[in-house]
Structure 1
Amino acid sequence: MPSTTPVRGAPAPRTPVQHTFAELGTPLSDVTFVVVDLETTGGRVSDSGITEIGAVKVRGGEVLGELQSLVDPGRPVPAFVARLTGITTAMVATAPPLDLVLPSFLEFSRDAVLVAHNAPFDVGFLRAACEQLGYEWPGYRVVDTVPLARRVVTRDEARNHKLSTLAALFRATVTPEHRALADARATVDVLHGLLERLAPLGVTHLEDLATASDPVPPDVRRKRTLADGLPEAPGVYLFRGPGDEVLYVGTSTNLRKRVRSYFTAAEKRRRITEMLRIAHAVTPVVCATALEAQVRELRLIAEHEPRYNRRSKYPERQSWVRLTSEPYPRLSVVRQVRPDSAHIGPFSSRRTAQSAVEALQDAFPVRQCTARLARVSRVAGSPCALAGMGRCSAPCVATTAPDTAYDEVVHALRGALLGDPAGVVEPLAARVGALAAQERFEEAGRLTERLRAYLRGAARTQRLDPVARCAEIVAALPTPDGGWELVVVKHGRLAGTAVTGPDDDPLPVVDALRATAEVVEPATAPAPACHPEEADLVLDWLERPGVRLVHVSGPWSWPVRSAAMHVDLAQVRAAVDGDGEIDRSVVGGALPAVVATMAPC
């Protein structure tokens, strides 16, 4: 049976001290640590057993007790393990089995913080032992001395962070020898040495140890309490400044866990660290679903324009490519969609939109001048250089009859904007191939980028336009527990959402959701009645496997020969087999399902 040896000299009661708010928590001097070490027959829990347990209980720098016992692993001890530890099969043959030793350890370590060097190894074996013998895992707080050592012990001081190396560095009173109790005693000295070095870094309380191994500035670390009390639920969080202004908006499926991560080494963005230094509070907005949380994030960013958010702050700055409504239409880059015109977009920047315009102008001899032209001019104009190069039919010189040739160009151009992109892809792809054959790779690259800009804008339009025209879409997605996630979409905008339980009838909830959904006025299609990124999020959700349409007010479709099948030119080209069919094993799920059976344009 294991022997427990109490040690005299437990620390006397301390005089109460009034701490500041920044120091609230459990001082490390008041924490009871149980430093544990195991010896095993191998390195894997699945096929190895414990041969020895050693543990030392300490508080305030004083040793309160020790526990040590050999354990019969129920299997032979391999020769290499016997050479390493000195524990042989004969030694453990008469030792107590694990079902007698484990209860003693669990009682010895009750209400303590578990410490180990390379803790995942020891804790993994202990957790597996509890599961095997039917004991509930106590849910210890665990401190691993390895990452703590990496935080404060440099390579100049120690060549590695092994226990023997650290024990020598901190002049431990016991030399590690691959025996459980000796290694646990050495780990106690290493722990005290590490805590002594961590104290000047602001690690003075138990709560500090959770992120002590992270290289986080002390002033930022002290604000980790902003995450306290946040719900572990999906939603949106708002970091607020001294004047209650919104500094940053984010979203997560677990609000508390996500906000805590800002105060660890996982957060490496300098501007976010700057934001954390001035943040005073975090406001949570709990949402019923992850989709609602993502949409609320976009809306809050657009509303508050937080200075530390970079994306989606200015939806009005997104650009569209428009085919103007005039006697001889031309292409222009605009901020808003206008009625009775063909558009593609939106594009993230005006520069990208202009690249799409240049791709279209490369494929079609559409006029590039900005002058207003009459259908039939009284005075003939002067043709420009583009007309001389055959890149414009020069409608400005028509004085006797309308330029019907230009009408044909505009008709083909409108088709490329709204439907089949073959009129752009084929001539530009041929030019890219010719340039590459001539080793004019820079020109070929610029032309390819222009073509891709056009295709992405056209594909996005063809995806947004149908949902923007639908007055109402009601859809349902099964939840893992057997319920339903319900969504109402109006003109691309999320107008309502709800979740039903596994035993609830979803149809009455659908009726109530439709009756109480937000009233949404339509925008000018193809623009949705919301931020375009919100419509993208809604479409991503609607296209998820398992989503079922409950109600659709109008047609919801997009062209078979759409721009989406050409967005990644290299991928689609590799996916086309000898019969002209698309190999979906190459393309994957990136293309609309209806395209899978169609030959490429």
Structure 2
Amino acid sequence: MTTVPSAPPALAVQGSFEDLGRPLHDVTFTVVDLETTGGSPARDAITEIGAVRVRGGEVLGEFQTLVDPGVAVPPQIALLTGITDAMLVGAPHARAAVPAFLDFAAGSVLVAHNAGFDVSFLRAACRRQQRPFPRFEVVDTVLLARRLVTSDEVPNRRLASLARFFRSATTPEHRALADARATVDVLHGLLARARGVSTVEQLLDFCRTDERRRPHRHLADGLPSAPGVYRFLDAGGRVLYVGSSLDIRSRVRSYFTQAERRRRMTEMVSVAARVDHVLCATPLEAQVRELRLLAEHRPPYNRRSTRPEKSAWVVLTDEPAPRLSVVARPRADRAGASYVGLFGSRSLARSAVEAVHAALPLRTCTTRIARRGGGSACVLAELGRCTAPCLTGPDTHYDEVVDAARRALEDDLGPLVEALVARVNRLSDQQRYEEAAAHRDRLAVLVRGLDRAQQVRALVRCGEVVAARPQGTGGWELACVRHGRLAGAATTRRGDPVMPAVEALVATAEHVPAPERPGPAGLTEEATLLVRWLGQPGVRLVRADAGWALPVGAAARWARLHLVEAAGAARTGPRAQQGASLWRVPGDEG
């Protein structure tokens, strides 16, 4: 292992990290190249490390060492690099060579050609040694070349091609130090082409930024580093996209970097003319305001706006022969309908519908019936899969079925659960385990939806709830909820008295009138979000209407259902084992 001593690093003084940055001529770069036994950091190992430390165009030091990989070098690798097993006899192991290189590179910006390869091997070596990998800033000359060198100038972005183009004094030869020296010349040639890039922060951003987005990076200028909501707008003032974040500035800046890979976002950024924002006191307020703005503007680039089918409710319709239907959102004009939700997708909502149908003979056809009697049988009725109440006049039996379904959806799920559990156990006794597991999973989805709907109804009926959630900084997030809407939010700092802040929040919170009549109008995504927040660990109830609490009836029945899991379908069978976790419903978040 040979090391040329390097000069002590220069101290860069800056008044503001964002505004001034570190000038490139004052930044120390360590240009590194590795040779390995193969291309997989998990399976292969390092055979050679070469590095050059430079600042301001001047070489400060060099590092080179062969590394004993602990395995034989594959013949094709030995042919490519010229490194043989005999050359590695007596070479230091990675546990000595890698720490020595990290000491050499300390305090500098790491540079490599196809940096992901070299950094991944260094990380893997550190993991094997159970030591942390330093948080280097990394510059990839491949990415720089893609931005700054055209295909007319070089046939590809390989190191050898770029070294010839920039007339490097060193020819790359698949040996670590020689390749690192050539990369130094390539780096200097690329920096000379990067007009307007004068600081290392600009250089790192230049590496990450997509060419199509770069002209729009100024849209993030002036945005605050605080929680809130941001909106991308086009030249005509139309809202293109709405989002929320704990750090508005950082989040918006990410849309202009290579880390953002969504095509829709690239297209959105290319037509955006400005970004505005709304500061929020807490992350909860930011999420609520985001929901309200989505509902108000329906931005074309938000999937929640363009694909409302991603979430759904189940409704027991209000018509002469009620049925279960999956809808995108409750309708305020259907006060007599019974709703259950919110489900994470329409497929989960349909699973809940199938669970009810397995216990109660509700009609399964989708035709809206204006009156009972005088109709004609549909295909489902002919197949025996629909009770066909449309064919009869007033039917006391079907009315009783509807009443049982309404009670289950709005109040008491117990009888329906008992019927379905009995069916699950019956199928299990018959060794029909896959069918039993399917019924069990549908019932789990239904119970979760009912639990949410009960809690949301309770919150909408409640005139006021004030709750507090501890912050990581030691203070509290405060929320005032009135009739299922967030009326106000605030925060306190560590050591500040909480009750004066609560009184101020209540006094200034928005007035939310009670709904004229309980119904689907209050079953909103905002109320569901608030219920989830109130149910988080650590949230404390500060004050509420007398006797109010989130109902636990459905949750308790859920727990009771859990007791039959071992005796039911989850005992054996491949499908049953696959769905053995009843409480984690795929795709149903929160």
Task: Quickly name the TM-score band, shorter chain normalised.
Answer: 0.5 to 0.7
**Aligned residue runs from structure 1 range 87-486, under 5 A:** 115=111, 118=115, 143-145=139-141, 147-148=143-144, 167=163, 172-175=168-171, 185-194=181-190, 209-214=203-208, 216=210, 218-312=211-305, 321-324=315-318, 335-336=331-332, 338-339=334-335, 341-345=337-341, 360=356, 363-366=359-362, 370-372=369-371, 382=374, 385=377, 391=387, 396-397=392-393, 404-418=396-410, 419-420=412-413, 421-422=416-417, 425=420, 457-486=449-478
Distance change in 2, residues 1:464/1:313 (3 Å): farther
Which amino acid letter does the alignment assign opposite residue 364 of structure 1?
Answer: L
Indicate conservation of the 8 Å contact 2:465/2:481, yes or no.
yes
User: Aligned partners of 2:314 and 2:583: how far apart in 1?
Assistant: 27
Say whether the 8 Å CA contact 2:440–2:582 is kept in structure 1.
Answer: no
**1: distance between equivalents of 2:176 and 2:29?**
10
2:304 is paired with a residue whose SS is coil
Q: Percent identity?
A: 41
Q: 1:423 and 1:354 mapped to 2: Cα distance? A: 20
Cα distance in 2 between the residues matched to 1:448 and 1:249: 38
5+ residue gaps, structure 1, are: 6-23, 44-50, 90-97, 129-136, 374-380, 567-571, 592-601
Q: Which has the larger radius of gyration?
A: 1
The code of the aligned residue for 2:417 comes to A
| Rounded Cα–Cα distance in structure 1 between residues aligned with 2:356 and 2:68 | 75
Q: 1:359 to 1:477 in 2, by over 3 A?
A: closer
Name the CA distance, whole Å, in 1 between partners of 2:397 and 2:582: 41
Look up the SS of the partner of 1:250 in the other structure.
strand
Q: How far off its partner does 1:499 sit? A: 0.8
Measure how far apart 1:312 and its partner are: 4.7
Q: How far apart are 1:512 and its partner, in Å?
A: 1.6
Within the candidate set 464, 479, 494, 1:487 is matched to 479
Which residue in 1 is equivalent to 2:510? Answer: 518
Q: Distance in 1 between matches of 2:341 and 2:563?
A: 27
Counterparts of 1:35 and 1:85, CA distance in 2: 28
- TM-score (norm: length of structure 1): 0.63
Q: Matches of 1:549 and 1:187 in 2, distance apart?
A: 61
Q: How many residues align?
A: 499
Q: 2 CA distance for matches of 1:547 and 1:535?
A: 16
Query: Could you tell me how far 1:470 is from its partner in structure 2?
Result: 1.8
Letter in structure 1 aligned against 2:225:
E
Q: How do 1:494-573 and structure 2 match up within 5 A?
A: 494-523=486-515, 524-525=517-518, 527=520, 529=522, 532-553=524-545, 554-558=547-551, 560-561=553-554, 565=558
**Counterpart AA for 1:56:** V
Label 1:511 to 1:312 Cα distance change in 2 as closer, same or farther (>3 A). farther
Q: Is the 8 A contact 1:474 1:549 kept in 2?
A: yes
Matched residue type, 1:68:
G
Aligned partner of 2:129 in structure 1 is none
The gaps in structure 2 that reach 5 residues or longer are: 9-18, 42-48, 71-82, 93-99, 127-133, 572-576, 586-590
Counterpart secondary structure, 2:170: coil
Please list, as runs of the form range in 1=range in 2, the aligned pairs for 1:60-71 lying within 5 A after superposition: 63=57, 65-68=58-61
- Residue 54 of structure 2 is aligned to residue 56 of structure 1: yes
Q: TM-score w.r.t. structure 2 length?
A: 0.64
Alpha-carbon distance in structure 2 between the residues aligned to 1:309 and 1:295: 16
1:345 is displaced (CA, Å) by 3.9
Report the Cα offset of residue 505 of structure 1. 0.7
Deviation for aligned residue 1:143: 2.8
